[in-house]
Chain A
Amino acid sequence: MKHFLRAATAAAALLMLGGCATPPPAYDYSAFQAARPATLLVMPPLNESPDIKATPAMWSHATLPLSEAGYYVLPVTLVNETLRQNGVDTAADAHGIALDKLRDYFGADAAVYITVKRYGTSYAVISSQTLVQAHARIVDLRTGTLLWQGIAQASSAEQQQQAQGGLVGLLVAAVVHQIIGTATDAAYNYGGIASNRLLGAPRVNGVLPGPRSPQHGKVAATP
């Protein structure tokens, strides 16, 4: 029993070190901190995957992590309607809109440009894997300055304990009504986890907590 306990605590401590204590190079937040954005406009994500559901999925998944990070996120469904009414039908077209126009119309401080790199399930004889990977850039609509960029992914092949930001994933599972079932839904669910890893705050080298967050003004410490 004593042996087991000792081994377990040692393992827990080791896991801790492995999970948290690898320090990546610190992100340069000077532009982000100077801009202090409060209102974010998430543009329809570009999709580089073969699944056309990637754009609506990752667009709808962006609001939660950014709002919980302390930002006001303009309602994506209404933004979608506004873009369509103005003849903007594709994400690529939307990404090409001049920044001053976006700022003028939507009143946002910064725009979030997401590119979905991977989205879907690859089937294999032994096991199939669901993988979602996305990249994001936050651009100041007043100056055009790049405030932040990052990339994250989530995969069914991960061990829960190894999952970077597993807690954020758990948080999502706890607060969001998940859909369970078909393989197409699996990509949607992993998309939610990937989005939280990508856009949640505070995270090491991640998006800075916004004005509505109790963590506002703090940078996630590199251990």
Chain B
Amino acid sequence: MSRALACAAGLGLLALVGCAQAPKPLYYWDTFPKQQYSTLLREGGSADEQIQLLEAQAENARAAHAALPPGFRAHLGMLYLGAGNPQRARELWTAEKTAFPESAAYMDRLLQRLDPPAQAGKTGSPT
């Protein structure tokens, strides 16, 4: 009987080891999914409020030595662009590319659009 008990206990333990090991998250998420939701709904607070929230979150992530999720810097850059700060958008989109080289093709497209039209014309002009 006690053997059966030990067996059952062992099974239970195995269950805990086998199933209950919650993996450590790769990224620091906090309010980011919710922020994306608000932006998609166009219901978020002002751009400045959203920027402050995400900058504070980035600060917390740094303090926790945790990685910012894919798209975080890109999203923040978009908010800065909306708030009339294309320079900061450029920095953040470049930072997204550095953190996640997989984003390079798309980030380059977005960065191109920040360039003044004169420069775009120059590349096309015959010399």
Interface residues of A (CB under 8 A from B): 5-6, 9-10, 12-13, 15-16, 19-20, 38-39, 53, 55-57, 59-61, 63-64, 67-68, 70-78, 80-82, 105-108, 167, 170-171, 174-177, 179, 188, 192, 212-213
* 8 Å CB contact of B27 from A53, A67, A80: A67
Tell me whether A63 and B69 are in contact (CB under 8 A). yes
Tell me whether A175 and B29 are in contact (CB under 8 A). yes
Asked if B90 is at the interface of the complex by the 8 Å CB criterion, the answer is: no
Chain A residues whose CB sits within 8 angstroms of the CB of B86 once the complex forms: none
List the count of A-B residue pairs having beta carbons below 8 Å apart: 131
Chain A residue with Cβ nearest B77: A78
Tell me whether B12 and A9 are in contact (CB under 8 A). yes
CB-CB nearest 9 A-B residue pairs: A107-B105, A75-B71, A72-B102, A56-B40, A16-B15, A60-B37, A13-B11, A60-B36, A75-B74
Q: Please, how many angstroms separate the alpha-carbon atoms of A5 and B74 in the complex?
A: 53
Tell me whether B23 and A171 are in contact (CB under 8 A). yes
Chain B residue with Cβ nearest A106: B106
- By size class, the interface of chain B is 35 or more
* 8 Å CB contact of A39 from B74, B78, B103: B103
Chain A residues whose CB sits within 8 angstroms of the CB of B29 once the complex forms: 64, 175-176
CB-defined A-B contacts under 8 Å, sample of 14: A13-B12, A15-B15, A16-B15, A20-B19, A55-B40, A63-B33, A64-B29, A64-B69, A67-B69, A74-B70, A75-B71, A78-B78, A167-B22, A192-B33
Q: Please, how many angstroms separate the alpha-carbon atoms of A82 and B74 in the complex?
A: 13
Contact A56/B71 with A9-B8, A12-B15, A72-B102 known, Cβ cut-off 8 Å: no
Tell me whether A59 and B40 are in contact (CB under 8 A). yes
Asked if B30 is at the interface of the complex by the 8 Å CB criterion, the answer is: yes
Interface string of B3-25 (1 = CB under 8 A from A): 00100110110010011101101
B window 72-105: CB within 8 A of A = 74-75, 78, 96, 100, 102-105
Output the least CB separation between B47 and chain A (Å).
Answer: 12
Q: Please, how many angstroms separate the alpha-carbon atoms of A60 and B34 in the complex?
A: 7
Q: Please, how many angstroms separate the alpha-carbon atoms of A75 and B79 in the complex?
A: 13
Chain B residues whose CB sits within 8 angstroms of the CB of A59 once the complex forms: 36, 40
Contact A63/B70 with A13-B15, A74-B106, A107-B106 known, Cβ cut-off 8 Å: yes
Tell me whether B36 and A76 are in contact (CB under 8 A). yes
Output the least CB separation between B95 and chain A (Å).
Answer: 13
Best-surrounded residue of A76, A170, A171 (most CB of chain B within 10 A): A76
